[in-house]
Amino acid sequence: MAFAARGAGTDLETYHRLDARGDSQRPPSRGERAFLADATLTIWLVSDLDVWEAALRRPVWPVRLGRSQDLASARAGRLALGTGTGQQRQAVVPDGLTQAGTLLLLPTAISEDRSQTRWGEYRYAATGGNAEISADYLTPDGQAVVLLPPTHPAAPSARARNREQPGPGLGQEPRSSRRQGRGAADRAPAGGA
């Protein structure tokens, strides 16, 4: 998965704090909130390509991206992936492959009943990391494609406990003191389209 934005800015937002009954407790407060513009999320899919292509061409629900639930468009394309070492660039990669970029603690899988969340540590270089990393696949222009852990709702089960430390439950903050940011996008099974 890779993410890039061509622009950024700051919005002035007004927050209205409400009590349990929904009544305003105090005067509204104002604050600045950063936003990104012209964002592109690339997800490489490596299996069930016909199924994913059909789903992206005719989605059942609107495709949305970001905290403001902006409508997004989806394009499917196929390219031949090779193998070898490639550049990280703006790919989200598991921590340990590189030290380039910001360390993020992201939800990797959420159980169907939303009672369990599996968290993982990843690296993201917003300005495009030039680090050479060992990749599962390689695009024709040298972009490393690293497959991310399974995101299927059954993934937070015993298999996850064997590979990663248990994370917090739904609605709890991650316990890692190394956390520097959180992602907001749900992930499809990793790969490339």
Confirm whether pTM is higher than 0.75: no
Tell me what pLDDT residue 103 has: 95
Please tell me the distance from the alpha carbon of residue 51 to that of residue 130, in angstroms, as a whole number: 33
Fill in the DSSP letter of residue 14. E
Alpha-carbon Rg for the chain, nearest whole angstrom, is: 19
Extended beta strands in 70-175, E state: 70-71, 82-89, 93-94, 102-110, 117-124, 129-138, 144-145
Tell me what pLDDT residue 64 has: 76
Please tell me the distance from the alpha carbon of residue 132 to that of residue 125, in angstroms, as a whole number: 13
Write down the residue that tokens 């690339």 correspond to: 42
**Per-residue pLDDT in tens (0 to 9) along the chain, 193 residues:** 888 888 888 888 877 777 778 777 777 778 888 888 888 888 888 889 999 899 888 888 887 776 666 778 888 889 899 998 999 999 999 999 999 999 999 998 888 888 888 899 999 998 888 889 999 999 999 999 998 887 765 655 544 444 444 444 333 344 333 333 333 333 333 333 3
Token output for 29: 């407060």
